[in-house]
Amino acid sequence: MIITYNPIGIIHSPFKELTSMPIQPASDTSGPGSVEIFAPYIEGLMDLEGFSHVILLYHMHEVRDVTLAVTPFLDSVPRGIFATRAPSRPNPIGLSVVELVRIEGDTLHVENLDVLDGTPLLDLKPYVPEFDHKVDASIGWLERVKGNVKGTISDDRFK
């Protein structure tokens, strides 16, 4: 079974290369940017402005390799790819919850982007804590490195 999608938009960001990028929206270096929605889909933005945060699902188009065991930016030993948020996934779908500042026509102005400039957007969903937040979730190997995400930037390991 092969699943095919067409991008619904494109993400514009200050990050032009896969190195020296913020590794998550929660990183100190994440930045402002915009999400351009292609003309056929603009009608779908109705009512979105009332939400403070949106979930971006995007295709990490510059990631070439699939590695099932990866050494994540936040650790020094290999972890299973599905126990990390590293980009070298079998299906390189990225997920970022970003702050929605305002919408102007076909453009969403957002904060806290951690996405490469020119990334194709697959889907856009409203962030709803009642649906998406799990209180007291435990986080496995990440427990030990919690807090380090703010100051960590990417290197060339997934280039």
Cβ(121)–Cβ(17) below 8 Å: no
Q: Tokens 């290369």, residue?
A: 17
Closest approach of Cβ 109 to a copy of itself, in Å? 15
47 is a contact residue toward a copy of itself (CB under 8 A): yes
Nearer to a copy of itself, 13 or 119 (CB): 119
Which residues in 137-156 contact a copy of itself (CB under 8 A)? 137-143, 146-147, 149
> Per the structure block, which two tokens stand in for 149?
């995400």
CA distance 15 to 6: 23
Closest approach of Cβ 52 to a copy of itself, in Å? 4
Interface pick for a copy of itself out of 32, 36, 85, 117 (rule CB under 8 A): 85
Nearer to a copy of itself, 18 or 48 (CB): 48
Closest approach of Cβ 17 to a copy of itself, in Å? 20
76 is a contact residue toward a copy of itself (CB under 8 A): no
Tell me the CB-side half-sphere exposure of residue 32, using CA atoms within 13 A: 5
Q: Tokens 């496995």, residue?
A: 140
CA distance 159 to 78: 17
Please count the other Cβ atoms lying within 10 Å of the Cβ belonging to residue 145: 15
CA distance 65 to 89: 8
122 is a contact residue toward a copy of itself (CB under 8 A): yes
Q: Which residues bind a copy of itself (CB under 8 A)?
A: 1-8, 24-26, 37, 41, 43-55, 57, 59, 68-69, 78-85, 89-91, 93, 95, 97, 99, 120, 122-134, 136-143, 146-147, 149
